[in-house]
Amino acid sequence: MPKQELLAPAGDVEAGYAALYYGADAVYLGLSKFSARATAVNFDEPTLDEFTAYAHHLGRKVYVALNTVLQESELPELTKSLDICTRCHVDGLIIQDLGVARVMRKQYPHFEMHASTQMAVHNKEGALFLQKQGFKRVVLARELTLAEIKEIAAIPNLETEAFIHGALCYSYSGICQFSAMEYGRSANRGKCIYPCRAAFKCNDQKESHLFSMKDMALQEDVLKMPVTSLKIEGRKKSALYVAAVTDYYRQILDGKGTDAHKADNIKQIFSRPWCKFHFHGKDKQVIDRDFVGHRGLLIGSVAQISHGRLRFTTNHILARHDGLQIDAAGDEKPFGFSVQRLFVDRKSVFEAAAGTMVEIELPAGYPQLKHGDKIYLASSGAVKGAYHYEKPKPKLYRNSNDIDVIVQIEPHQITAICNDCKTSVSGTFTPAQNPQKSLEAVQTAFAKTGDTALNLHHLQIENPQNLFAPASLLNELRRQLYSQIKIETPAGILPNVPQRTAPMPDRPQFAIKVDNLNYLNLLNLNDFAEIIYQITPQSDINALNRLPKNKIRIALPTVCRHPALYADIIGRLLDGGYKKWQVANYWALEILPLKQLDISFDSSLYMLNTQAISMAAEIGASQITLSLEDIKTNICNLIKKSSLKTTLIIYQDVPLFTSVGCIRDNDCRTCNRQPQWFDLQRQGQKFKALSQNCQMMVFDDKPFCIADTARDLTPDFFRIDFLYRQYTPEKVSDIVKILLKFNNVSDCISGNFLSNNI
């Protein structure tokens, strides 16, 4: 197996230099726009140019994350970002948006395309499909087990990248809608406010952090992973953190084993409790319900609180000005403070050794602490000074552009030519006494590129008479020529998008999507141009026989860990003549015979710009569903410009989270995996959670509904969804009557539809 790449994050250039110093084979970073970590410092062009030049000098790689979805008006800015990456010689780009992929394939084919984890690739089929679209590498969903990782990594000629350390999202990345729909801050646009870290009440019980994940730390298990690249999360972390984590895993990958001391250092810099997530299979101990944020290294527990002083035995060196945190019952976050006065045997000391009973003066206003409360070392002066790193002098490295030069030496003139640039000096030039030295003089003169962005790639010397040229004239000739050369990267332009050929509908058409065909019992099906049925492997497809086949579209789910389970039912439906299908993730596009079918893209494939829609058309789609988290102005623009038929969802119970993190209070081995609903509350806001078949979905208690504000739009279809939540045919009928008149149901949410931005 080839050497694996250790890939480290850089939210700023200091973190980047720290990563390189401590052994990262590659660094990933973001620019000022289109980064899924929009609040990181990120890189401007001069900084990126200098950093990539230095990394390449060391033989390392640099990847830029342009891994958000783009609205139509942002496409011109996309080409500016891609031009920057071209000028800075970036090695590859990590992307989510199919529109970005199309622009790169057509206008920037020199870049490697890496499929971001935001594309939610969670099975072999999804990876295979993206490989066919030109992606060289796929970043795998964090939720995968080792067996699933191995299956995808075995795909020939496809690079795979997997996370090995850092923060975890509760929801599958790329399909989390919570921050966008509830707070107008889209995770798919780099603006997530992390609602998964908040405290919720569940079934009127005490508040807890039901969705707050521990940190991933695979440690020595990275040696079992057959992936191309091992990725550390952390573009919002400090250079100190990046240095410590990179150093820790570099040692493991170099065969030196795990280092408990270095692991302890990481925990003191920043760490939630560690877990292996689902690497070894389903694990319910991956959520920290009691506390959020940085915890630190566990060094003891409260032995006594007396007269404002804390006594405990520390199992680690402790010094004045170190930071401690204590799990104080009832508090959302640990109680933290800096050690100002430290005592051993009643004597004031600067430092206490491991195994010592220490006494610490608590700050005023400390919370109620009790015997046994856990104590963590959350900040250590010694660790802060333990990760020195070197970086180059400013402006020492820069990316250069290769040039080819021709030097022609004639008896009365010397001419230098590079592309369209040409300059000459006149004189009388006689035969050289030493032709070889004369040749070397020309080479020496033109190899000097100074502070230009040029690199002499090839020098052709035409001197048939072996004439001598003085070095002073050669240097002057070089200066004149190089001053004329303007290296300009051709500015990228957006590839053309096809125009719509299908006529616009004369009147509004409606589609309805259900996961229970009984919901249709009381409806007049003449009201609907399409009936979309979301299937499971257990669906009774015989019930479709009572419906008009020409209206039926079969829908496959977004998340499917085992696509083989769908093979039988898909085969029977295809044999039964069902030609209309809807896909919500890339895996479905791999297992369906696309050329034989009418394919619709669901909203989870994020069509927010015409380049993405054009890519969908090139893949084989005839219809796209506009994004649930998009705004009305952008949606209106896309409806007018789209080459494909468009669908606008006007009613749905939106899955805010879709996760493998189960909140049932039971053992997985005894779980019946049947549907179980939970009532959640947060700051007076109500939510519903559904646990079924080892998958959690969280919904707002209110449905998403935009019927009244969408009535002036002209998509091909207005779609009404009845999925996941429990309805009756009577309730469905009542809601449909309201929506068909373009009225909103009472007590609903509208997401970002009327917002100015997301």
Is the CB of residue 646 less than 8 Å from the CB of residue 716?
yes
- Quick: pLDDT tens for 586-599: 999 999 999 999 99
Helical (H) or strand (E) element with 718: strand 717-722
Residue pair 517/543 in contact (Cβ under 8 Å)? The answer is yes
Give per-residue pLDDT as tens, 248-271: 999 999 999 999 999 999 999 999
Computed over every residue of the chain, the mean pLDDT equals: 95
Cβ atoms of 593 and 574 closer than 8 Å: yes
> What is residue 670's predicted lDDT score, i.e. its pLDDT?
81
pLDDT of residue 486: 82
The residue ranking higher by pLDDT, 505 or 95, is 95
Alpha-carbon torsion angle 379, 382, 384, 386, nearest 10: -140
Average of per-residue pLDDT across 325-330: 86
H or E segment to which residue 708 belongs: none
Strand partners, 311: 304, 359
Mean pLDDT of 8-22: 97
pLDDT of 747 higher than 70: yes
Alpha helices in 485-607 (DSSP H): 567-575, 586-591
Burial of 114 (0-12, 13-18, 19+ CB in 10 A): buried
Residue 89 main-chain phi, psi, to 5 deg:
60, 40
**What is the 3-class SS of 277-321, one letter each residue?**
CCCCCCCCCCECCCCCCCCCEEEEECCEEECCEEEEEECCCEECC
- H/E element, 75: helix 75-87
Average of per-residue pLDDT across 680-709: 96
Q: Give the whole-angstrom CA distance, residue 682 versus residue 658.
A: 18
H-helix or E-strand containing 164? strand 159-166
Tell me the three state secondary structure of residue 626: strand
**What gap in Å lies between CA 600 and CA 594, rounded to an integer?**
11
| pLDDT, greater one: 163 or 451 | 163
What single string gives the DSSP state of each residue in 553-581? EEE--S--S-GGGGHHHHHHHHHTT--EE
Rounded distance between C-alpha atoms, residue 214 and residue 216, angstroms: 7
Identify the three-state secondary structure at position 439: helix
| Cβ neighbours for 116, distance < 8 A, ≥ 6 positions apart | 36, 65, 67, 94, 95, 96, 139, 174
% of the chain exceeding 70 in pLDDT: 99
In whole angstroms, how far apart are CA 662 and each of 217, 657, 658, 692, 740?
20, 12, 10, 9, 37
At 543 the three-state DSSP class reads helix
Between CA 508 and CA 713 the distance in angstroms is: 9
Whether residue 25 contacts residue 59, with contact meaning beta carbons closer than 8 Å, is answered with: no
Here the tokens at position 84 are 């920057």
Q: 727: pLDDT confidence band, cut at 50, 70 and 90?
A: very high
pLDDT attached to residue 500: 87
Question: Which residues share a beta bridge with 632?
Answer: none
Q: Which amino acid is at 650?
A: I
Give the pLDDT score at 329. Answer: 77
Angle, helices 75-87/45-57, rounded to nearest 10 degrees: 40
Angstrom CA distances, 359 to 314, 325, 521, 523, stand at 10, 15, 73, 74
Residue ranges of domains in the chain, CATH in brackets: 5-168+214-275 (3.20.20.70), 171-212+655-663+670-702 (no CATH), 297-384 (2.40.30.10), 401-484 (no CATH), 510-653+703-740 (3.20.20.70)
Is pLDDT of 415 > 80? yes
- Using the predicted structure, report yes or no on whether residue 550 has a pLDDT greater than 90: yes
Residue 201 bridge partners (DSSP):
681
Instruction: Read off the tokens for 589.
Output: 């596009």
Calculate mean pLDDT across residues 134-147: 98
Nearest partner of 158 among 116, 128, 123, judged by Cα: 128
Alpha carbon distance, N-terminus to C-terminus of the chain: 43
Q: Which residues pair with 657 in a beta bridge?
A: 698
Does the pTM exceed 0.75? yes
Residue 6 φ/ψ, nearest 5 degrees: -95, 115
Chain Cα centroid distance, residue 308? 46
| Paired residues of 132 in beta bridges | none
Q: What is the CA radius of gyration of the chain?
A: 31
| Contact between residue 157 and residue 131 where contact means Cβ atoms under 8 Å apart | yes
In the chain, the percentage of residues whose pLDDT exceeds 90 is 89
Residue 524 is given by DSSP the state: -
The pLDDT tens digits for 281-304 are: 989 899 999 888 999 999 999 999
Q: Give the containing element (helix H, strand E) for 628.
A: none
pLDDT at 386 over 80: yes
Lowest mean pLDDT, pick from 150-159, 668-677, 740-749: 668-677
Residue 537, pLDDT score: 96
Burial classification of residue 517, based on how many CB atoms lie within 10 Å of its CB (0-12 exposed, 13-18 middle, 19 or more buried)? middle
Confidence (pLDDT) at 503: 82
d(CA 355, CA 500): 75
The answer to whether 656 and 700 have CB atoms below 8 angstroms apart is: yes
CA 63 – CA 9 distance, rounded (Å):
10
Q: Is 278 in contact with 213 (CB distance < 8 Å)?
A: no
Structure tokens at 35: 């980064």
pLDDT at 328 over 90: no
What is the predicted pLDDT for the residue at 455? 86
Type and span of the H or E element at 601: strand 598-601
Mean pLDDT of 23-47: 89
Q: Which residue type sits at 208?
A: S
Confidence of residue 221 (pLDDT cuts 50, 70, 90): very high
Collapsed DSSP state (helix, strand, coil) of residue 397: coil
Query: What torsion, rounded to 10 degrees, do the Cα atoms 259, 262, 266, 269 define?
Result: 170
- Asked if the model's pLDDT at residue 490 lies above 70, the reply is no
Q: Which amino acid is at 317?
A: I
